Amino acid sequence: MIRRLTEAQAASWVAADLELMTILRIVSQWQLPDCWLTAGMLRNFLWDQLAEATVLHSANDVDVAFFDPNLDYETSEALGRQLAAMWPNYNWEIKNQAHMHTHNFPDESPYRDTLDAVSKYPETCTALACRLNEAGYPELRALWGLEDLAAFEVRPTPHFSRSPRRLAVYNQRVAGKNWQESWPQLTIHS
């Protein structure tokens, strides 16, 4: 089992996966500003690769994050629904990160861009983003590195660990995910 994982290695695994590449091509076609495939689908795919899983575990949602402060919340949501309807075979979650800072807590500071938003996701292993570069190859970013993910460690990002109320959201979230059912080697930290 690989214990050291680089962004380049993870990107090569993504590049070899037909479904992820199809999704990345669809997302690229949308030409949304600062747009990335994020979170669970990438995390689950990488855990499966690391575990050499014979049965692959998909995420419930295909999370797509973009950043456009010129679109209001309602317009952003309508755009997300419109794009999702064009490819109904996926359960899209398309969110404009210019508005998502208030998702859990209304008094949060606005995000600067999509990667700033992803860095504030609850778990380090979920703070992932991927998009196609100009050459059509996956560009993968792990905002808190890939060490926790590769070691099957689930822990809060610094943004969530610094605040008791955010940490409570993190703990509630990971308790409800049942990730250890699919990946029994996981260790979940509070």
Distance CA 14, CA 130 (A): 9
- Is-contact 70 38, C-beta < 8 A? no
Lowest-pLDDT choice from 51-55, 102-106, 180-184: 102-106
pLDDT tens for 54-106 read 877 777 789 999 999 999 999 999 999 999 999 999 999 999 999 998 876 77
Whether 91 is in a domain gets the answer: yes
In a domain, 1, yes or no: no
Whether the Cβ atoms of residue 49 and residue 152 lie closer than 8 Å to each other: no
Tell me whether residue 2 is in a domain: no
**103 lies in which domain range?**
7-188
Q: What is the CATH number of the domain that holds 166?
A: 3.30.460.10
Residue 155 lies in a domain: yes
Can you give the pTM of this predicted structure?
A: 0.94
Burial class (CB in 10 A: 0-12, 13-18, 19+), 77: middle
Whether 33 maps to a domain, the answer reads yes
Overall number of domains in the chain: 1
15 domain-assigned:
yes
